[in-house]
Structure 1
């Protein structure tokens, strides 16, 4: 199941790049996330008023971060190659310890700095190889990677120790993204959002992203994390950028030089290594909690998985 999630998430870059050929970025995101939020509305049934308020208090700010992520990522994807995006977005795993340092006060280990350095070398090889001159799309993807690291950290901060069910929370987050894109589209685009496209390829791409890259992926992650170790999850999900690059070559007929492939492998390796080190720290963190009786962010053991 986790390999399937990595596969469909890898395919998401090429499919999103295809969808925005038929409809503006903000309109595409509005359609995708409004549909996703609507499909998750049944999850609200049976929730008490207190739990609904708790979900909204966490879901709205997290939804605003998610809105920033997808606007940056999808605009960036429209301006760069899908294969570049697949590798660069995986740097969120490396960025997460540094965001935790700023937000939660936990300084990264020396290994975290090494992983960040390896990732930067990989980005240099992937995007230019001569001078580090990221194009606008690459820069937006890297911004989205930083925002994903913020998402992991603030999700932990806002939900830790609170009775907040996952599916209603995802429904609020995706609703905020969908509504935010509608408002931005009306305010920013000349003439507002255009009429919905009739192209079958747009709707098939969007439908795939809604059903497989959000609903199925969310279920599969939760199912797997209850039945296997975070280390195994990290290893399997580390295949996502590889699938993304291969799908871009197959679907969009992109080409990657040997230097670019080397850069992508360095980024992916650093991300998987960072995730594995965080997973392996679980026993030590548990002992520290028991010894010091203090709360330690669960994102320290997070595998870097985000809601695509």
Structure 2
């Protein structure tokens, strides 16, 4: 096997690994919440991430103030995403969360339409309808039963779509390294989480010190930081430069599937055939939303982290 083929194979394997670890993150977070509250978990996860990536902040020296404020705004939106997503996991299954959060892929064209004035294509409208049907089938086995957890996950998907659009407007006119963007966002999430911890969580340090079976909890935190944040971000950027957009979209589109399977085997969650059908429709809609149909050719856009 020659070097280019080895590089493509390596990038494909890394993308598949990203889909696996991001899919498993919902089950891991749900497990960690048995030990420590939502706000404390977010502060630890992103605080450690920020410390590890803090050297990348040197690239902010020449960034205009207006762009810095916009970048900080993407961090505030990301904090909102994780608050809704993590609190939502307390009230719904990890399987539902894995599929429903992927709706941000099809919500992004709608946000672009309302905010950036880019009208969705007919295929994107089809994806919107398909994903809506999938969400109904997934939650409550098609009985239109949405609990608070499902609603929070859907809100997280919408806010993530807003964040993607704002981040796009920030990064298109600058040359900031991806790690710098991640470091800033992690810092904002950390500060916001810590402020909320001191306001709403009684005795957070004492709870952390007195935690039983703390080894399991810290194992979850290390996995979320190293695998689901640092490795996943690096691997996705590495692979996008070496693989085709089509392969990237297809491999990353498998994330909800791994999330559902992991939740079944790790947490013992059960999903009906109707639920799996709904999840499958959401995945199909996400792939359709990643496609730009042009007369005479089809171009697939790589998904955004």
Same fold by TM-score greater than 0.5? yes
Q: 2:102 aligns with which of 90, 99, 120?
A: 90
Q: Which residue of 1 aligns with 2:49?
A: 36
| Structure 1: gaps spanning 5 or more residues | 285-299
Match of 1:59 in 2: 71
Distance 2:55 2:124 in 1: 41
- Of the three residues 239, 242, 249, the one matched with 1:227 is 242
Q: Deviations over 1:227-286 (max 9, x none)?
A: 1222211000011000000000010000111111111111111111211x14x66x99xx
Q: CA deviation at 1:102?
A: 1.2
Residue 165 of structure 2 is aligned to residue 153 of structure 1: yes
Partner Cα separation in structure 2 for residue 50 and residue 230 of structure 1: 32
Structure 1 distance, partners of 2:105, 2:302, is: 8
Q: How many residues align?
A: 289
Whole-angstrom CA distance in 1 between matches of 2:300 and 2:182: 21
Q: Is the contact between residue 40 and residue 204 of structure 2 (CA under 8 Å) also seen in structure 1?
A: no
- The within-5 A match list for 1:93-132 is 93-132=105-144
1:18-41 Cα distance to aligned partner (Å, 9 max, x none)? 011100000000000000000001
| Aligned-residue RMSD, C-alpha | 2.3
SS in 2 for 1:4: helix
Which 4+ residue blocks in structure 1 deviate beyond 6 angstroms? none
Q: CA–CA distance in 1 between the matches of 2:282 and 2:230?
A: 27
Q: Could you tell me which of 220, 225, 228 is aligned with 1:213?
A: 228
Q: TM-score, normalised by structure 2?
A: 0.88
Give the TM-score, by structure 1 length. 0.88
Matches within 5 A, 1:1-308: 1-45=14-58, 47=59, 49-51=61-63, 56-190=68-202, 195-196=207-208, 197=211, 199-275=214-290, 277-278=291-292, 303-306=302-305
Shift of 1:132: 1.4
Unaligned runs of 5+ in 2: 1-13
Shift of 1:5: 0.1
- Alpha-carbon contact 1:152-1:304 (below 8 Å) kept: no
**Structure 1 Cα separation of the partners of residues 96 and 61 of structure 2:** 45
What SS does the aligned partner of 2:168 have? helix
Give, in angstroms, the shift of residue 225 of structure 1.
1.0
